[in-house]
Each structure stands twice: as C-alpha cells, then as structure tokens.
Amino acid sequence: MKKIALSLLPFTVLMAACGEEPAPEPAPAETVAPEPIESLPAPDQELFATLHAAACPEAKPVNTAVCRRAGMGSEDVICEYGLGDDEYLRNTATLTAGDGEWVLTDTETVCAAGA
C-alpha cells in the first residue's frame, strides 16, 4: 500500500502544479499626460544683442554674450557680455520673462556701462 501511495505522489504533485493558472495581469491604469508648460526659449547671443541694441541705442554693439539661469528655479537669466571690439565678458545684465518675451531689467545701469 505504501508503494502505491509513494508512486502516486509525484503524479498528484504534477497534476496539482499543472492545474494552476497564472495570476491575471493587472489592467493598465490610464495615465493623463500633463499639459505642456509654455516657456520662453533660452536667450542666446543674438537675442541679447537685439534687446541691448533696442534698450541702449547709443551704446556699442554687443560683440559676445553668454546667458545663464540666475539659479535653480529662478525665472531670471543673467547675461555676461562684451561690447564693441572687446572679446571679454566684462559687463552683466539681467533678463526677466515678461508678457511672452524676454525683458532687459535695470536698463539705466546696463546702458550706463555701455556708454
């Protein structure tokens, strides 16, 4: 009797394992894509030169400029620039986002540096 029970044991284990179905995969949750945030393009040398020329018509033209964010999460951009034949970044100006475009802040100081 023991021999019969032992010989049937692998068969019953096999049948029990084969009879199990895999768990159903969870239904994919619908994800809502976040709305895109409208932001201004990063200012470059050409944009800064245009803004500087419009704000300070008597100043020498911008020769070179590099613009960077003022800090993590800041809306302002700090631009270092050189005027005329100067290839060094001797001057600094701040740009702020306003009404869908970049605006040069403290134009009196910026124009005084370029005079």
List, for residues 69-91, the tens digit of each pLDDT value: 988 888 899 999 999 888 899 99
Give me the pLDDT at residue 96, please. 93
Give the confidence band of 65 by pLDDT, cuts at 50, 70, 90: very high
Question: How far is it, in rounded angstroms, from Cα 75 to Cα 115?
Answer: 28
Six token digits for residue 79: 């631009």
Helices (H), ranges, the chain: 2-18, 45-55, 107-114
The answer to whether 93 touches 70, Cβ cutoff 8 Å, is no
Q: How far, in Å, are 24, 25, 59 from residue 28 at the CA level?
A: 12, 9, 61
Give 10-58 pLDDT, tens digit per residue.
666 666 656 566 677 777 777 777 766 667 888 999 999 999 999 999 9
Identify the band that residue 60 occupies on the pLDDT scale cut at 50, 70 and 90.
very high
Q: What is the pLDDT of residue 13?
A: 65
pLDDT of residue 79: 95
Could you tell me if residue 42 is left (phi over 0), alpha (psi between -120 and 50 degrees) or otherwise beta? beta
Portion of the chain with pLDDT greater than 90, in percent: 43
Q: Which residues have CB under 8 Å from 1's CB, separation 6+?
A: none
CA–CA separation, 30 and 28 (whole Å): 6
Apex 72 CA angle, 91 and 83, nearest 5: 15
- Residue 55 is predicted with a pLDDT of 93
Contacts with 17 (C-beta within 8 Å, 6 or more apart), sequence order? none
